[in-house]
Amino acid sequence: MALIDDVTRLAEDIRQGSAEVDTEIDTFPSGAVCLHIRVGERAFVLDYFPSYDMFGVDELTGDGGFNSGYRFGLKDFASAKTKLLHLLEEAQAPATAVSGSLPIATTSG
């Protein structure tokens, strides 16, 4: 299967069941492929650079510039996909889980 097919399927899977998620795929004559994901106010990327045979995965932040680097560089699509999905899961985790505070238990009766 071609890389663009894998990326397209990943984008479709990410969009499934959530109106808050938007994806966009850009392709370039060089063979580079960029998957952009927006979840609410947050943005993530999975980019493939054929000249390096490398995937870059990261969350875009307000202080980062275009192509200023990636926190995660991976050699294969499966690893890049796994890392991206992990970042997306972290982004959707409740704030209490991220902050480390314990949730308040409630009882009904």
21 backbone dihedrals φ, ψ, rounded to 5°: -100, 130
> How much of the chain exceeds pLDDT 90, in percent?
64
- Report pTM: 0.79
Domain residues of the chain, as ranges?
3-93
pLDDT at 103: 40
What is the Cα–Cα distance from 90 to 86, expressed in whole angstroms? 6
Work out the pLDDT band at 94, boundaries 50, 70, 90.
low
pLDDT at 61: 83
What is the Cα–Cα distance from 88 to 81, expressed in whole angstroms? 11
Work out the pLDDT band at 93, boundaries 50, 70, 90.
confident
Work out the pLDDT band at 107, boundaries 50, 70, 90.
very low
